[in-house]
Structure 1
Amino acid sequence: MTFHDFNFNEQLLEGVLSMGFTTPTPIQEMTIPVIMNGDDLIACAQTGTGKTASYLLPVMNYIANSHNHHTTALVLAPTRELAQQIDQQVEGLAYFTGISSQAVFGGGDGMAYEQQRRGIQNNVNIIIATPGRLIAHLTSGVLKLDKITHLILDEADRMLDMGFSDDIMRIIGYLPKKRQTLLFSATMPGRIRTLAKNILTDPQQINIAISQPAAGIDQQIYKLHDGQKTPLLKMLLKDGGYLSSIIFASRKEIVKSLYKELKAAPISVAAFHSDLQQNEREEILLRFKNKQLPVIIGTDALSRGIDVEGIDLVVNYDVPGDPEDYVHRIGRTARAATKGTAITFVNNRDLKRLKSIEDLIEKPIALKELPEILQSIEAPPKEDRPHGPASGQRRDGKRNPKRFGKKKPPRPAQN
């Protein structure tokens, strides 16, 4: 099957072919006919399978054929990075069609807000938005969504994880009841099904290899202690021959600390975290995408917020707490049927997490031997402290008086 078989609008097909698309991926082959038929849809597919084009193309085909000059489609996304990437893909696919789009997201300055407002007032065909900033435009009265024919929720599970459930329902209250709704998610927990039941009408359902990493990923683990992690990482980045690498850490404090150590190595690297300004984040992603920056370090915000071809190494400096996050992290490599390497550092505290990951992907991950030169490095103190609250803290982060010397009230005397 080729993209010619979908009978797309001629100008849209020209844009598809100019971007180098020839053969649709499985998710595209299965979903595009359903969407073009006008059915609501629940699609569950792993990252890197081409799901963005699977909903953009049929929606853009509808817009191109209907010659609408108002906002027809709304795409909701969990992060500004994903919203921008979807907007860029619309721009490429729509090059010959005249279809317009506007990314709407927070975190920028007043100029960014004004630019978004102008785009909205110009009645762009497609709005790609994060929920919070979209509501700001809705409540200001600038944005009207009464002519929307297509609503797409991309990475719906991630949006619910980030607490956007109420915002999504509030936004839907501004939309026409008669519309086509498409829900795309990498996982399908119960709350996604509940959301789908509330906002979709007799949806078709398509599942593509849920929670399974791409076949082209060479998955490896090293069992080591924390004192060996950074020396091993430096060796991999300097001697492994990798051209484009992402390092995932569990907290931004680790990201910042690791960035300083790698930069001093010296390794060309940038840290991506929430303390950066929006323009700084955009510059880092642009340099990384253009292959001007070989290494980027970040938290799980990067695992679904970056779509860059040619990443040949992903390193889990810390094992993620959720097995699903492991799949999303390593899914940054081996995209579009290419190959890549995913390496995970596993210390004693993370053995249970490793077991959960292997249970999810239904196979053991290959164990690599630690280089001999690193085996003599001694473990730092308290290496075996289990995951959970620090000693003397409760799970809500407050001090536990029992662990800090507060005396118990005297017991009553026995008669």
Structure 2
Amino acid sequence: MNVFKLLSRSSKAAQSAPAQTLPSAGAVANPQLFGHDESATVSSDTRKNKKRKRGKDAEDTSAPLPADLDFFGTSKKEDAEPTIQATEMKQKRTSQLQTDIETNGKQEELEVEPYDEDESKRILRSHKLKVTVLEDFAPQEDEAQPEKKKKKRKKEEKVVEKKKHAKKQLFPQPLTSFVQLRTRYGISRRLADNLREQAYTLPTEVQLGTLPLLLRSRKTEQECQKGDSSAASASGAEYGGDIDLLSVAPTGSGKTIAFLIPVIDALLSEKTAEGDDGPRAIVIAPTRELASQIVNEARKLSKGTGLKATLMKKGMEVVERPEEEKVKSDEDGPRNSEEEDESASDSGDEDKAGQQKKRKRRRADKLKAAILVTTPAALLNALKQNDNTLASLPSVRHLVLDEADVLLDPLFREQTLSVWNACSNPLLRVGLWSATMGSNIETLAISTLNTRWTSLSSTNTTLPPRRPLIRLVVGLKDTAIPNISHQLIYAATEQGKLLGLRQLLHPTALPTTSSGPSLRPPFLVFTQTIPRAIALHSELLYDIPPEAGGSSRIAVLHADLSGTQRESIMTKFRRGDIWVLITTDLLARGVDFRGLNGVVNYDVPNSAAAYVHRVGRTGRAGRAGGVAVTFYTQEDIPYVKLIANVIRAAEKLRGVAEEDQSVKQWLLDALPTPTKREKQELKKKGVEARRSAKTDDGKNKARISTKSGYERRVENRKRGAKIGSKQRQEQEPRRKVEEASESEFEGFE
């Protein structure tokens, strides 16, 4: 026995470090972000109240005490057995009723009455939901009124103009379980089965508030007749699901499911008119990766329903084109198919004529999917005709703009509005969804709806009543997701950022600090430009040892890669073969990585909204433990306050104490506030030091490299020497040929 080990042994047992909860650990039981405890207490209280109202006796419905402990009751066990048997029988009946509803699709509800207005307000506020009516196009009163009423009306209008911010609030019936979609709202039985197969049981905040607004309840008329008119109008039941919605909810809160369920249910209940076989619902996304993800979710929910969801691809025919456009080839040629066939047969090239016929038939095939998911540019190219006009889409009755703030940004605005105006159906329902939504987007949406309605009313006299535009906000607008931790690290220079990123790749090299939880793979690394992403990938290519997979664990993804390469990299990253994925803002929006443990902002985002969407790739569906690390240098200091304010608001929403927040008040006071012009320049072009390869003095301060200037000079000289030697070797044979040709003629003798 070693005496020194025995004497140095501590009296306390060795304590292991607490295990860190990670998003990659799996799904959580409750995907909601807010109101976990309060909603449970509210639901239990309301159930007691409902049972007390429904029960014939006025007895207390609390749990009965055992017979041995009930000193004020009968001491006989025989008297307690019937009550226990009765409660067991009641539980069996309720469970049997619930299974019957789920399996057989019966129309009856469980014995739980809908919430009244006060209970709905309490639940919605506990989940930080706010529903307001932005524009209500209710029919106005007739102008044949007395003069006194007209004067009163003018005074009321003036008062309304003064109170611009006083908008009508709605308190819809909250959706507490996905089972109520079948029992209360009567969605398709197959759609309910698909939701159950995908393990959707408890709705998130955005689903809890939007689905009651977008779906038509079976008992809407009965509830309106039972209650007073004010309660009915406060719940929004008078709209019957026929609304235009603008929804602002945190990233990873289930917005895709929230807009796909009403669209699929409406398409199943609608009857298709004769000859109206085009797409009936269009979902527009800013990137192809997000569009592909939406298609996968739509196919899961529409399985077995007969509806088809497809991704827009090059060459698809969305609308029926005239015969002249079908026949016309890509190159200049004859417009008639008969002339083309004759010319082909005259030349004797029968194979060519057959290929032309096949190409014509392929181009003439029209899209038959009910749900079309696309990017704005791809759909716009398919709608363009020979005279540079756009074909109309009269069959579309549902238009969804996912990441609407980007689609209505100046980058995509013209394309998105062109597609929006091409949907000429007067029954079109519009949905705008995003995690960040500025007031300018709301104003643009209202003006677009008004302009479109004016153009429709000028051509069609029999129009249905205008539907209202309703806004739903979860939490605080333009705020990061609250269930992740944020770290703002000053790195001073580009070399400092590279060193900090290498320390994140090797967390055991340094002792753990109290700054926050450590970052573990898999995680994303965001850069400002594509060249910087490629350079960072080449710099970190061999940082992971071969025993752990080596260079195959690190990859780069950007817009310059082909579609197949991007899909392959995304598949490997989701499968777990790639641990560190370096990318640009291409993957900053909408893409769902459920097991992503963190995000690294190697370059400061271009705006506060960009930061919200970047860090929202982790902490999806209520998963806790995600980490968001942001490096900033001396050049980033004028813009860091935008991100610091977002971090502070998210931690305040999370309930973190002020002394424990990662952004201190002294840092906010010390950071400069960027001007409006600086914000616009940053949003358009990013940080100026990283825009170009070289600065005015000829030096590249934004180079991603750990090599010194002397080493780079030596490498450049060696590279130049190699290139020079190759050029000399290529020129030497040519010089010998020239010398030989000159030596052949030796002159006259």
- Taking structure 2 as the reference length, the TM-score comes to 0.46
Question: Does 153-162 or 302-311 show the bigger shift?
Answer: 153-162
For 1:16, the equivalent position in structure 2 comes to 195
2:298/2:309 contact within 8 Å kept: yes
Q: Per-residue displacement from partner, 1:345-368 (whole Å, max 9, x unpaired)?
A: 122222332222122343586279
Distance 1:6 1:81, change over 3 A: same
For 1:47, the equivalent position in structure 2 comes to 251
CA displacement at 1:321 relative to structure 2? 2.7
Question: Does 299-308 or 49-58 show the bigger shift?
Answer: 299-308
1:246/1:313 contact within 8 Å kept: yes
Q: 1:217 aligns with which of 480, 484, 487?
A: 484
Distance 1:4 1:173, change over 3 A: same
Q: How does 1:151-230 map to 2 (within 5 A)?
A: 151-161=399-409, 163-175=411-423, 176-200=425-449, 201-209=467-475, 210-225=477-492, 226-230=494-498
3-state DSSP of counterpart to 1:304: coil
For 2:589, the equivalent position in structure 1 comes to 304
Q: Per-residue displacement from partner, 1:175-202 (whole Å, max 9, x unpaired)?
A: 1132111111322224312331134452
For 1:63, the equivalent position in structure 2 comes to 267
CA displacement at 1:305 relative to structure 2? 4.9
The reply on whether 1:28 has 2:232 as its aligned counterpart is no
For 2:640, the equivalent position in structure 1 comes to 354
Structure with larger Rg: 2
CA displacement at 1:50 relative to structure 2? 0.8
CA distance in 2, matches of 1:63, 1:294: 40
CA distance in 1, matches of 2:617, 2:385: 37
CA distance in 1, matches of 2:496, 2:536: 13
For 1:231, the equivalent position in structure 2 comes to 499
CA distance in 1, matches of 2:616, 2:430: 26
Q: Which runs of 4+ in 1 moved over 6 A?
A: 117-120, 141-144, 385-390
1:14/1:96 contact within 8 Å kept: no
The reply on whether 1:139 has 2:384 as its aligned counterpart is yes
2:194/2:302 contact within 8 Å kept: yes
For 1:318, the equivalent position in structure 2 comes to 603
Q: Per-residue displacement from partner, 1:292-325 (whole Å, max 9, x unpaired)?
A: 2111111112111521111001111111131111
Tell me which amino acid in the other structure corresponds to 1:17: R
CA distance in 2, matches of 1:18, 1:263: 41
CA distance in 2, matches of 1:367, 1:264: 34
Q: 1:253 aligns with which of 528, 531, 547?
A: 531
Tell me which amino acid in the other structure corresponds to 1:214: I
1:73/1:127 contact within 8 Å kept: yes
CA distance in 1, matches of 2:365, 2:294: 17
3-state DSSP of counterpart to 1:63: helix
Q: Per-residue displacement from partner, 1:65-106 (whole Å, max 9, x unpaired)?
A: 336465211111111111111101101111232321111156
For 1:374, the equivalent position in structure 2 comes to none
Distance 1:189 1:54, change over 3 A: same
CA displacement at 1:133 relative to structure 2? 0.9
Q: Per-residue displacement from partner, 1:224-257 (whole Å, max 9, x unpaired)?
A: 2321222321231233672311001111111001
Tell me which amino acid in the other structure corresponds to 1:207: V
Number of corresponding residues: 371
CA distance in 2, matches of 1:315, 1:27: 27
Larger relative contact order (CA 8 Å, sep ≥ 6): 1
Distance 1:285 1:354, change over 3 A: same
3-state DSSP of counterpart to 1:263: coil
The reply on whether 1:4 has 2:289 as its aligned counterpart is no
Distance 1:289 1:148, change over 3 A: same
Distance 1:231 1:118, change over 3 A: farther
For 2:559, the equivalent position in structure 1 comes to 274
Tell me which amino acid in the other structure corresponds to 2:499: P
Tell me which amino acid in the other structure corresponds to 2:283: V
For 1:244, the equivalent position in structure 2 comes to 522
The reply on whether 1:76 has 2:284 as its aligned counterpart is yes
Distance 1:344 1:27, change over 3 A: same
Distance 1:275 1:145, change over 3 A: same
Distance 1:105 1:328, change over 3 A: farther
CA distance in 1, matches of 2:310, 2:560: 25
1:76/1:130 contact within 8 Å kept: yes
3-state DSSP of counterpart to 1:224: strand
2:480/2:646 contact within 8 Å kept: no
Distance 1:59 1:338, change over 3 A: same
1:323/1:353 contact within 8 Å kept: no
3-state DSSP of counterpart to 1:293: coil
Query: Alignment identity in percent?
Result: 31
Query: Counting strand residues as a fraction of each chain, which structure ranks higher?
Result: 1
Tell me which amino acid in the other structure corresponds to 2:533: V
Tell me which amino acid in the other structure corresponds to 1:16: L
CA distance in 2, matches of 1:73, 1:271: 34
Distance 1:120 1:181, change over 3 A: farther
Q: Per-residue displacement from partner, 1:10-40 (whole Å, max 9, x unpaired)?
A: 1001111111211111111111121221211
2:248/2:437 contact within 8 Å kept: yes
CA distance in 2, matches of 1:264, 1:119: 51
**Consecutive unaligned residues in structure 2, runs of 5 or more:** 1-175, 216-240, 317-358, 450-466, 508-517, 545-550, 652-660, 665-687, 698-749
Distance 1:23 1:301, change over 3 A: same
CA distance in 2, matches of 1:118, 1:85: 27
CA distance in 1, matches of 2:409, 2:364: 29
Distance 1:16 1:67, change over 3 A: farther
- Taking structure 1 as the reference length, the TM-score comes to 0.82
CA RMSD in angstroms comes to 2.9
3-state DSSP of counterpart to 1:191: helix
Q: How does 1:356-375 map to 2 (within 5 A)?
A: 356-363=642-649, 366=662
